[in-house]
Amino acid sequence: MKIIMLGAPGAGKGTQAKKIAEKYGLPHVSTGDIFRANIKNGTPLGIEAKKYMDEGKLVPDELTVKILLDRVAQDDCKNGYILDGFPRTIPQAEVLDKALTELNDKIDYAIDVEVPDENIINRMGGRRACLACGATYHVVFNAPKKEGICDACGKELVLRDDDAPETVKKRLDVYHEQTQPLIDFYNKKGILKEVDGTKEMNDVFNAIVSILDK
């Protein structure tokens, strides 16, 4: 079972990917993690990717897919995997599709966690982070015991720049421009499944499970 997670930043797709991975015993493959691992281990692909990153350039799609295929060729992926954070654009999806076809392989499901922009802006605007220990909270869904203070270390909680409404709005604009077209791409392939991401986290997960267990 090979799954791609889709959804806007803050829709909760990363959380759902982890829960799916746990339930079905599949690796949760995040492109960010793979890049870091390859660079840290000094692999040939990691060295090549680092050259682009050091120059402030985007890593080409072909190289990203090579690094990804190298990861999913490992033993723990033989029963499937969940891709989180890739593809982000139509060209990336096409390169991945072509590479998998050449391996006589394909993606089984593209799961879109659907949440309106307004909900995401409100949701992310409620996040608070402790810069001292890294703990995260939400003023509505996961409030600290004492307002503005970290339960774990007692330091002040802040609204990170990434979570400020104007930053979130910009990230959503980029998502709609670059990533939203993937929904049509996978819909045409007949593998797109949409779930309502505004529901409670476990309800969203149960909806995904009912799709995967059919």
The model's pTM? 0.82
Digitized pLDDT (tens) for each residue of the chain, 214 residues in all? 999 999 998 898 988 999 999 999 999 998 888 888 999 999 999 999 999 888 888 888 889 999 999 999 899 998 999 999 889 899 999 999 999 999 899 999 999 999 999 999 988 899 999 999 989 899 988 899 999 999 999 999 999 988 889 999 998 998 899 888 999 999 999 999 999 999 999 999 999 999 999 8
Residue type, 205: F
Please name which of 195, 205, 200 lies closest in space to residue 19, comparing C-alpha atoms. 205
Annotated catalytic residue, options 18, 50, 171, 199: 171
Active site residue 171: yes
Query: What's the longest Cα–Cα distance across the chain?
Result: 56
158 forms bridges with which residues in the sheet?
129
Active site residue 189: no
List the domains of the chain with CATH numbers: 2-116+179-208 (3.40.50.300)
Annotated catalytic residue, options 18, 50, 160, 199: 160
Annotated catalytic residue, options 19, 66, 71, 127: 127
Tell me the CA end-to-end span of the chain in Å, nearest whole number. 12
